[in-house]
Amino acid sequence: MFVVKSALNLSFAAHVMMLLLLVGLMFVLKLGVIFKTGLVIIAALIWYEHTLVKADNFENIPVAFFNVNAAVSLCMLVFTVGDVLLV
């Protein structure tokens, strides 16, 4: 059980790092409010992903891994391109 909790904690840390890197990207590319909106949605999706999987219940791993990550990727694309093209 300790290994599973450690893996979940590592996953959480990697997602926090990803969000911090996206914030850095926002400053480097001088992205605006559209990207920031997408960043909030992505953070909410990541939080939701981590509520789906528990150390004692692996049933929702396919939903968390495939569906939520697909939504994160799509949000990243749509909000980044939208911000670049519309602002």
Cβ–Cβ under 8 Å, residues 24 and 58: no
d(CA 78, CA 81): 5
86: which 2 tokens?
């519309």
DSSP state of 57: B
Cβ–Cβ under 8 Å, residues 26 and 35: yes
d(CA 40, CA 1): 32
pLDDT per position as a tens digit, 21-61: 999 999 999 999 999 999 999 999 999 999 998 888 888 89
Q: With a cut of 80, say whether residue 1 has pLDDT above it.
A: no
pLDDT given for residue 55 in this prediction:
85
pTM of the model: 0.90
pLDDT given for residue 23 in this prediction:
97
